[in-house]
């Protein structure tokens, strides 16, 4: 929709071209959320596309996903054969409520910075132990894991004007086996629960990531693949009934119920 309060669009060639920061400024990535609701507090858009960041950079160390990487670019990514987690990219992208057409515009960084519980790129990058590089307006770049980046429903650690530059997925995580389950109240609807687990070839380092069912991603790490009872116990201990996120896409008791069910399915698959 038209953002009728916008007076100016800045299109910097470098982030350094943006002096300071004031209320009313907003970074513009894909625009797919920004243009979906009135933004009456915003008067200036700062276009990140004009920075021309390379969307995806694969090295031996892992994959760097620029904040401005389009969802479609990640969807089309084919990594080296050893990166066994790459098919998970598509599975998570397919679990978006959004249509494939939106993938052409929406960015990975935008989805992570929106920090909605059902943000499938949060689920993906958290599960693959992603690390965000953040550029504060003043000061040195800082790094933070995706799972710590999101602090609640529509909340994250970003300070005013701070920019998410990229997310690094370490090669070690990309090499693990993965399993994923997702449910929603309607067919291909917004996730009520999106659960991912990764595990090393040797059955070590079982990492369960619960998302959509909780306000922010929650991770449970086990040295080896847990038993059904251990998993159940750990979930109950970490996520009491009031730790689940109730919204129109699923009640909290339902999300708890399906989280436990799907987590067990994933455990069985990876065991």
Partner 1 sequence: MTDFHVNGRSYAAEPAAGQCLRTFLRDLDVFGVKKGCDAGDCGACTVHIDGKPFHSCLVPAFRGAGREITTIEGLASNGELHPMQKAFHDAQAFQCGYCTAGMIMTAVTLTDAQKTDLPHALKGNLCRCTGYRSINDALHGTCNIEPDEAGKALGASLPNPFTDAIVTGKARYTMDLAIEGLLHLKVLRSPHAHAHIVSIDRSAALAVPGVVAVYTWEDVPKRLFSSALHEDHLVDPDDIMLLDNVARFVGQRVAAVVAETEAAADAGCRALRVEYAILPTVFDPVLAVQPGAPLLHDKDLVTASNNIFCTLQGEIGDVAKGFEQADVVHEQTYSTTRVQHVHLETHGSIAWKGEDNRWHIRTSSQAPFAAQKKLAYIMGLPPRDLHVFTERVGGGFGGKQELVSEDLVLFATMKLGRPVKWEWSREEEFIGATTRHQMTTRVKIGARKDGTLTALDVEVFSNTGAYGGHGSETLAAAMASPIAAYRCANKKGIGHAVYTNMTPGGGFRGYGASQTTFAVECAIDELARLLGIDPFEMRRKNVVRPGDNIESIWKEPSDASFGSYGIDECLDIVERELKKGNGVAKPEGAEWTEGQGVALAMLECGPPTEHRSGAEMRLLPDGTYHLACGSTEMGNGITTAHKQIAASMLGTRIDDIDIINADTDRTPYDTGTFASTGVVVGGKAVHLAAQAMSEDIIGFASRFTGVAIDQCRLDNDAVICGNQRILLSDLHAEGAKVDHRFSVTRRAYLSPRTIAFNVQGVRLAVHRVTGEIRVLHSVHAADIGRPINPMQCRGQLDGAVAMGYGWALVENMVHDDEGHMVNPQLRNCRIPTFADTPHTDIFFADTIDLIGPLGAKSQGECGINPVAPAVSNALANATGVRFAHLPFTPDRLFAKLAAAS
Residues that bind partner 1 (CB under 8 A): 1-9, 28, 30-32, 35-40, 45, 47, 49, 94, 97-102, 104-105, 183, 185-190, 192, 248-251, 253-255, 257-258, 261
Smallest gap from residue 150 Cβ to partner 1 (A) = 20
With respect to partner 1, which residue has the nearer C-beta, 48 or 171? 48
Measured over the CA atoms of residue 139, residue 143, residue 146 and residue 148, the dihedral's sign is: negative
CA dist 119 and 113 (Å) reads: 9
CA dist 200 and 189 (Å) reads: 31
With respect to partner 1, which residue has the nearer C-beta, 3 or 243? 3
Closest alpha carbon to 215 in 146, 268, 151: 151
Phi-psi region of 203 (alpha: psi -120 to 50; beta: other; left: phi over 0): left
Smallest gap from residue 266 Cβ to partner 1 (A) = 14
* CB-based contact 191:95 (threshold 8 Å): yes
With respect to partner 1, which residue has the nearer C-beta, 124 or 192? 192
With respect to partner 1, which residue has the nearer C-beta, 192 or 196? 192
Tell me how far the alpha carbon of residue 207 is from its chain's centroid.
Answer: 16
CA dist 240 and 95 (Å) reads: 26
Smallest gap from residue 250 Cβ to partner 1 (A) = 5
Smallest gap from residue 258 Cβ to partner 1 (A) = 6
Closest alpha carbon to 96 in 161, 32, 9, 147: 32
Smallest gap from residue 255 Cβ to partner 1 (A) = 8
With respect to partner 1, which residue has the nearer C-beta, 30 or 215? 30
Smallest gap from residue 211 Cβ to partner 1 (A) = 17
Closest alpha carbon to 195 in 88, 77, 113, 102: 88
Instruction: With residue 83 as reference, give the H or E element that holds it.
Output: none
SS3 state of residue 78: coil
With respect to partner 1, which residue has the nearer C-beta, 188 or 268? 188
Paired tokens of 116: 């909605």
What is the C-alpha end-to-end distance of the chain, expressed in Å? 48
Residue keyed to tokens 């997925």: 169
Smallest gap from residue 72 Cβ to partner 1 (A) = 8
With respect to partner 1, which residue has the nearer C-beta, 148 or 247? 247
Smallest gap from residue 140 Cβ to partner 1 (A) = 31
With respect to partner 1, which residue has the nearer C-beta, 2 or 14? 2
């Amino acid at each position: 929709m038209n953002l009728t309060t916008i007076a100016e669009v800045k299109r910097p060639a470098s982030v350094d071209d943006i002096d300071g920061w004031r209320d009313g400024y907003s970074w513009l990535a894909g625009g797919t959320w920004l243009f979906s609701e009135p933004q009456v507090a915003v008067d200036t858009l700062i276009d990140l596309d004009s920075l021309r960041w390379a969307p995806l950079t694969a090295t031996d160390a892992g994959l760097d996903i620029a904040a401005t990487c389009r969802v479609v670019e990640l969807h089309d990514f084919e990594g080296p054969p050893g990166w066994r987690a790459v098919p998970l990219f598509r599975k998570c992208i397919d679990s978006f409520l959004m249509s494939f057409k939106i993938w052409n515009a929406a960015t990975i960084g935008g989805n992570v910075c929106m920090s909605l519980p059902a943000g499938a790129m949060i689920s993906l990058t958290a599960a693959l132990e992603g690390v965000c590089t953040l550029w504060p307006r003043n000061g040195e770049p800082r790094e933070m894991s995706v799972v710590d980046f999101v602090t609640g429903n529509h909340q994250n650690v970003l300070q005013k004007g701070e920019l998410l530059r990229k997310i690094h997925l370490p090669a070690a995580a990309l090499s693990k086996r993965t399993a994923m389950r997702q449910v929603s109240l309607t067919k291909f609807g917004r996730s009520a629960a999106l659960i991912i687990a990764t595990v090393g070839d040797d059955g070590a380092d079982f990492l369960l990531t619960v998302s959509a069912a909780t306000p922010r991603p929650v991770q449970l790490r086990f040295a080896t693949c847990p038993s059904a009872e251990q998993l159940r116990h750990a979930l109950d201990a970490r996520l009491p009934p009031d730790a689940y996120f109730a919204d129109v896409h699923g009640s909290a008791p339902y999300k708890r119920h399906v989280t436990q069910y799907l987590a067990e399915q994933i455990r069985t698959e990876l065991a």
